[in-house]
């Protein structure tokens, strides 16, 4: 059994069962999602559905928590499940090892989940997650963008309408307006302007995506225990 005595000291023992019983959907296990996943597991969440169709490659080693030389070419969902079981043998992991598209996202029953966490890097999926969760009144949080950024101190938990200097957030704001979605959309976003590079590949580091992932978990856990 996972020992959560240190967490109990700051949440109160009565909150731990509530944390354990929540059902979480996490979309994406990359630079942001890997840290979200591990911190959810270490926070006592025992029911997590993970969605990712990718396997680990060498370029992931600079920033993705679950990426090791020993996990290269392995499915991210398989690696995540194995690691979670090492932390908490009682955890229940449901794996969806596929690339989500607008066509297949309907295969997921979002209403099963207490929280939906979007840590993916596909714009169409981000839009669909917002649309589905707002229509179903499902709690969710979306990470906008961490690429080409160097200052983790400029990341914050906010609402989509209050974001600035974020290209992904700008696209999502336009989508929300076009869809006439009036509900507040919770996001983790940065006020840092992305750095311009001479490459079509998006630059990244170990600490900005990690911070964003941990902020996503902090939102969920603090909401569960009533700190928000």
At 207-220, the pLDDT tens digits run 999 999 999 999 99
Which architecture, in CATH terms, is 5-224? 3-Layer(aba) Sandwich (3.40)
Residue 228: pLDDT above 90?
no
Domain ranges of the chain: 5-224
- Name which of 227, 149, 134 is nearest 187 in CA terms: 134
- Mean pLDDT across the chain, nearest whole number? 97
- Mean pLDDT to the nearest integer, 153-177: 97
Complete DSSP assignment for 163-197: --S-HHHHHHHHHHHHTT--S--EEEEE-SPPPP-
- Mean pLDDT to the nearest integer, 162-180: 97
Radius of gyration of the chain, Cα coordinates, nearest whole angstrom: 17
CB 117 within 8 A of CB 26: yes
Looking up tokens 């679950």 gives 66
- Name which of 35, 44, 37 is nearest 10 in CA terms: 44
Q: What is the CA angle 46-57-51, rounded to 5?
A: 30
Which tokens hold the place of 168?
């992904």
Q: What is the pLDDT of residue 10?
A: 96
Q: What share of the chain is helix, strand, coil (3-state, %, to 5)?
A: 45, 15, 40
Q: What is the pLDDT of residue 196?
A: 93
CB 70 within 8 A of CB 117: no
CA 66 to chain centre: 14
Model pTM score: 0.97
For residue 55, the 8-state DSSP code is B
Please tell me whether residue 47 adopts helix, strand or coil conformation.
Answer: strand
Q: What is the CA angle 31-21-98, rounded to 5?
A: 40
At 86-139, the pLDDT tens digits run 999 999 999 999 999 999 999 999 999 999 999 999 999 999 999 999 999 999
CA distances from 27 to 53, 82, 93, 119, 183 (A): 10, 17, 13, 6, 21
- Mean pLDDT to the nearest integer, 37-64: 98
Could you tell me which residues are beta bridge partners of residue 193?
Answer: none
């Amino acid at each position: 059994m996972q020992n959560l005595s240190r967490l109990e000291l700051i949440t109160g023992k009565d909150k731990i069962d509530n944390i354990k019983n929540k059902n979480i959907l996490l979309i994406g296990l990359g630079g942001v999602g890997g840290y979200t996943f591990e911190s959810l597991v270490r926070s006592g969440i025992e029911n997590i559905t993970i969605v990712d169709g990718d396997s680990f490659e060498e370029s992931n080693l600079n920033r993705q928590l679950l990426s090791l030389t020993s996990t290269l070419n392995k499915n991210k969902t398989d690696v995540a499940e194995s690691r979670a079981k090492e932390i908490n043998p009682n955890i229940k992991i449901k794996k969806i090892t596929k690339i989500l598209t607008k066509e297949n996202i309907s295969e997921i029953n979002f209403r099963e989940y207490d929280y939906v966490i979007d840590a993916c890097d596909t714009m169409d999926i981000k839009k669909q997650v917002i649309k589905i969760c707002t229509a179903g009144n499902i709690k969710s949080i979306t990470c906008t963008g961490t690429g080409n950024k160097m200052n983790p101190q400029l990341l914050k938990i906010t609402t989509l309408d209050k974001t600035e200097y974020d290209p992904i957030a700008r696209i999502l704001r336009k989508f929300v307006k076009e869809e006439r979605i009036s509900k507040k959309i919770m996001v983790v976003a940065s006020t840092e302007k992305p750095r311009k590079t001479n490459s079509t590949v998006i630059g990244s580091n170990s600490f900005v995506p990690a911070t964003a992932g941990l902020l996503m978990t902090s939102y969920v856990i603090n909401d569960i225990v009533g700190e928000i």
